[in-house]
Structure 1
């Protein structure tokens, strides 16, 4: 199901957004995103996927801001 959605929409959306053919796709670690069939689909369609590390504050901008939001409170 997920690969059908990707197949129908991803390349068209990338084109509509003006991305070149070497764009990098980002998704989280939801099981449907990490399934072998999904990995195979990305490889077959020559689409680069950014690795998403569990609990990575580097890729979650708000995690880097919490310390500044807490300072005025304490």
Structure 2
């Protein structure tokens, strides 16, 4: 998947769901995958005023599913 495909998915699903179900103060969480950190995607996030949680790269202790 590339940045443009990821953006399309988030635009169609994430924006409407996040705002309608969680209100204005919701945070979006993602890892530091290259498609998430591309300039194209960062510009898109800024234009749509999405609050993204800061996530250190390759930090496994923050992944709760890894320890189940």
Structure 1: which 5+ runs fail to align? 66-74
* Structure 2, unpaired ranges of 5+: none
Based on CA coordinates, which of the two structures has the bigger radius of gyration? 1
1:12 to 2:16 alignment: yes
Q: Paired residues, what number?
A: 63
Greater strand content: 1
Which residue, out of 41, 46, 53, partners 1:50? 53
- TM-score when scaled to structure 2? 0.74
Q: Which structure ranks higher in relative contact order (CA pairs < 8 Å, sequence separation ≥ 6)?
A: 2
Cα root mean square deviation, aligned = 2.0
Normalising by structure 1, report the TM-score.
0.69
